[in-house]
Amino acid sequence: MTGLVIAAGGSVDLTFEAVIEAPSGAPGEYVNVAEVTAADTNDPDSTPNNDDGDQSEDDEDNAVVAPQVADLSLTKAVDDTSPNVGDTVVFTITVSNDGPDDATGVAVEDVVPAAYSGIGSISSGGTLAGSTITWSGLTVPAGGSTAVRFEAVVEAPPAVYVNVAEVTASDQHDPDSTPGNDDGDQSEDDEGNAVVVPQVADLSLIKAVSDAAPNVGDTVLFTITVANDWPG
């Protein structure tokens, strides 16, 4: 800004807006300095455009912001990891916040694979669209956690039973993970999965008789053997 006229005893306010970017960790990255760089009139106690970084003169100053930070992490659990096909299982997704600030505007997304049907009993105002459940507007207090859950019915194999959930939004910066960026391996702490392995039993039956050619009046013994070739 140039050409300003400031009356004796008066002042001028200059304003502008800026959007806060994510921190890089560089020292003082949010310190925003301004100084008087020129004046036609002599200033008795300061010199324009000579700030050496400490804003030690009265024609220099700074303002600092400290963006809010909330380190979110997510875990996912299922109440029965070895259900029978057709059973209803309950998935619980817990979002924890290591702070230091409360997390607001937190959203969680769970894409339920075709191995599950009958999605229901969705908690906390979550909504189902297709096979995707979305929770939004959640608050996770610093040092605390917030859990959401839903039910689903286990379908018969073959199927992919891995069920992934991730944090997709937060108002606060997360220092070690990024919402909505899971590339499939749940490598960040704001992503997680739960897996069930349905019980399978491969049954076979053999029936035998002790004497295949008895005489009338003889007593024979029938034996029925049921075998299971699978661990379930």
Region from 22-30, 38-46, 99-107, 154-162 binding Ca ion, contact rule CB under 5 A:
38-46
Whose tokens are 């004046």? That residue is 39
Residue 106 or 112 having the CB closest to Ca ion: 106
In which residue are the tokens 């996770």 written? 140
- For 57, residues 6+ apart whose C-beta sits below 8 A from its C-beta are 35, 45, 46, 47, 50, 51
Q: Which residue from 29, 61, 171, 176 is in contact with Ca ion, where contact means CB under 5 A?
A: 176
Taking the least distance from each CB to Ca ion, the nearer of 56 and 82 is 56
Cis peptide before 100 (omega within 30 of 0): yes
Which are the contacts of 174, defined by CB distance < 8 A and separation ≥ 6?
Answer: 69, 70, 71, 72, 167, 190
Which among 107-115, 139-147, 187-195, 220-228 is the span making contact with Ca ion, rule CB under 5 A?
187-195
Buried b (16+ CB within 10 A) or exposed e, 81-98: eebeeeeebebbbbbbbb
CB of 102: closest distance to Ca ion in angstroms?
15
**Does 94 engage in binding with Ca ion (CB under 5 A)?**
no
For residue 46, state whether it binds Ca ion (rule: CB under 5 A). Answer: yes
Q: Which of 110, 154, 190, 198 binds Ca ion (CB under 5 A)?
A: 190
In this complex, which beta carbon is closest to Ca ion, that of residue 149 or of residue 173?
Answer: 173
Closest distance to Ca ion from the beta carbon of 26 (Å): 20
Only one of the segments 48-56, 99-107, 121-129, 202-210 lies at the binding site for Ca ion (rule: CB under 5 A); that segment is: 48-56
Stretch that binds Ca ion, among 68-76, 82-90, 110-118, 144-152 (CB under 5 A): 68-76
**177 part of the interface to Ca ion, by CB under 5 A:** yes
Count of residues that interact with Ca ion, criterion CB under 5 A:
19
Q: Interface with Ca ion includes 58 (CB under 5 A)?
A: yes
Q: Residue 73: CB partners within 8 Å, gap ≥ 6?
A: 95, 96, 98, 177, 189, 190
Q: Give the binding site for Ca ion (CB under 5 A).
A: 43, 45-47, 50, 57-59, 71-72, 174, 176-178, 181, 188-191
